[in-house]
A and B are shown apart, each in its own frame.
Chain A
Amino acid sequence: MTLSPNPPGTNITLQLSCLSGSGSAVFAPDGSTSTNITQSTTVKIKGVTASSVASNMILKAMLGNDMFASNKFSIVNMEMTAYRPQTEGPGYGSPFQKRAITNTLEENPGAGIRVNGDDDNNNSTADSSDTSVSGENDLIEVELKAEPASGIKYVLKRSSSNIKVWNSQTKGTALLDSGTEAEISFSASTKTVWVENPSGGSADLEFIVRSGETDVCSDKVHFYPFTSIVIALGGETQDPSDPSDNGTFQLATNLYQQGYDVHMYDEDDVDYGGAGATYNEVVNSIQHRSVSQVAIFGFSHGGGSTYLLADLLNTHRDTIGTFTIPFTAYIDAVEDTFMGDMNQEHRRPTSSAYHVNYYQEGSVADGWLDGGPIDYPPGADYEINVDYPTPTETHLTIDNETTVLDGIETRLTPRINR
């Protein structure tokens, strides 16, 4: 609406109101629903609550009691929220709970997504080539919020074919498979879609409100394929959980929220030869999910298992595929090569490019349980005896020590690509 009061000085009243259903708007910045103009002016209108139906709001121009111009409009409330991946799922809570990616992180670094080349339904076909995958856990959940649900054109647009959008966690119907965009219909104010990365590469997904040919507003999430896997191994009887009382898993959860593909395990998931569920997950990620970097850290026997896992990965390197281990860390690591092994873990994880080692000196208080310096070549890259010169920690407290957890995190993040 363009108004030019003539002669200048003529008082025109602008009013905002809702014609039907619900919705409210005010003039910015004063927050009122009515304002006066006496000359050609640009006014700003701020939506307060979304329209329950399209075009139910009206801006009226009044000369006295007479309306001489009006314009209908809608107040749109739209948002796109992506979540961190399911791990080890399907479903959240095993162990990571469902966590939304905050607006400050959704474009940079964005949402991490696994390349879907594995075979979650064990049908000998890569999941990326299946149209329905029972047990699928590699698609990223995205929630679209759209108010009003109808009468407005909503569009999903991808920047490249590196991602696909499905209507179900198990794939099902493709909403955005060919082309760069697709109109999305809503039967309610929210809709959940699932993003897949079939074969790598990054892409942006944009949720757009479109009027005619004009994109009125949009929300964007950047999707990047995980190229690393981070393994966190707790100590004896420390079961992975989120939230957790155990520092190893708190650190893991922190990294998960920063967009790493983190997997938490009980140290028993690494057997005395290094094999087991943890090893299988790493191998699977290298062979089928384009992962090329492995980071491992662990506490107590989880530190001993860190060594065993790295060693087995290195032993079978030729068969597994191409990968590096740019980072490993021990927290008071105890060897785990046989049941009840109480020996300090002195061995540097095989083929680790950078190893961090925190340990304390045991005493009767902790049954003489402790880690020790790395003396098997070539030593650690960063090593701290937290009990030197003053004994401050026991084996039961060191894994919750903030400086230890921060020390590992600050050294892992520059060395591991997401």
Chain B
Amino acid sequence: MFKIYTNIKCTRLSSVMPLFFLFTTAVVVLAVAQEVNISIQPNKEIQSLLKGLLSTNEHEMLSGTEEAFRGKLEQLRKLAKTDTEIVSQLIYFSIYAKGMKESMLPGVIIEQMKIPDSTFAEVGLPLLDSKDESMRKIAAKWLTRADHVSKGGVDFSRYESILREKKDNPPQGLIRYMYNRNPQTAVATVARVYGKDVPESEITTKAKSGVKESVEYFSGRSEWWAHLYVATMMEKEPYLRTPELIKKLEQDTDPLVREKVSKMKFNLKPSK
């Protein structure tokens, strides 16, 4: 079962902004807009069935014969009723997985049951705004199934539609995910939605240029989505970090930019 408790607590950035500015240097992980209490509730019967699939023999992963395994998968389908519920339960299972067998089991089941990758978008996207950071992280990992392209790269077209629908209230979790997943595709996608009079081809070309050249270009722009690209690249490529760039990004009021800059500043402090 998959529950979204949007009525419990929903922290809006606008209400915490004054405090936010006061404590940016002290707080590493910052609350950003639209975080909600959201979690996956375990179905005990399904979780038990999943555990039961594993062999107790340390050299084997699955117990029993192939026929028995497929019978158990049928049982799983009946218990869960929908692909969405199967995926939710597999994500839950993966959070608490111990050892290689448990960690790899969800992938094996997904392959064998041929669950469409789009299901992972359905389940994972709401979790990106969870208040629970570990839930956000695991959701981000599973969401990669929904946007990977088999020949390489990512397909963010699904996310672009969501951004357009929520243009006035940018979904922070999704934007954070897109930049972390693939900053080059993210900045081009986000620029198409939020950019004003932005030359699309130039953005795409610059995003695909060398790391230094792209960072130089986007740091010279004024938009938050350009600065978020720079902050992400500095996060991924630490040698790009300079005090000058960090100082420049600090001027940006976008919460995601500030979140990344704050993390970087923390990491730049002497470690002991």
Binding site for B on A (CB under 8 A): 90, 120-124, 134-135, 235-238, 272-273, 275, 280, 283-284, 287, 300, 316, 318-320, 337-342, 364-369, 394-397
Contacts and interface: CB of A to CB of B under 8 A. Distances in A.
A341 B110 CA distance: 10
A320 B211 CA distance: 10
17 contacts: A122-B267, A135-B272, A235-B100, A237-B98, A237-B99, A275-B237, A300-B104, A319-B237, A338-B144, A342-B108, A342-B111, A365-B55, A365-B60, A366-B60, A394-B60, A394-B61, A396-B101
Contact of A122 (B69, B99, B239, B268): B268
Contacts of A368: 108, 111-112
Contacts of A318: 210
Contacts of B103: 236-237
Contacts of A339: 107, 141-145
Given A122-B268, A273-B181, A364-B69, 4 more contacts: A272-B148, A339-B144, A342-B104, A368-B111
Interface string B50-85: 000001001111100110010000000000000000
Contact of A319 (B60, B211, B269): B211
B24 interface: no
B158 interface: no
B243 interface: yes
Nearest to B138: A339
Contacts of A367: 61-62, 104-105, 108
The 10 closest A-B pairs by CB, nearest first: A340-B107, A134-B272, A338-B144, A367-B108, A135-B271, A236-B103, A338-B148, A339-B141, A364-B66, A275-B236
Contacts, number: 113
A120 B110 CA distance: 43
A236 B104 contact: yes
Contacts of A319: 210-212, 237, 239
Given A283-B239, A338-B148, A120 B271 contact: yes
B172 interface: no
Interface of B: 55, 58-62, 65-66, 69, 94, 97-108, 110-112, 141-145, 148, 181-182, 210-212, 236-239, 243, 267-272
A397 B98 contact: no
B143 to A, nearest CB: 8
B211 A122 contact: no
B211 A134 contact: no
B250 to A, nearest CB: 17
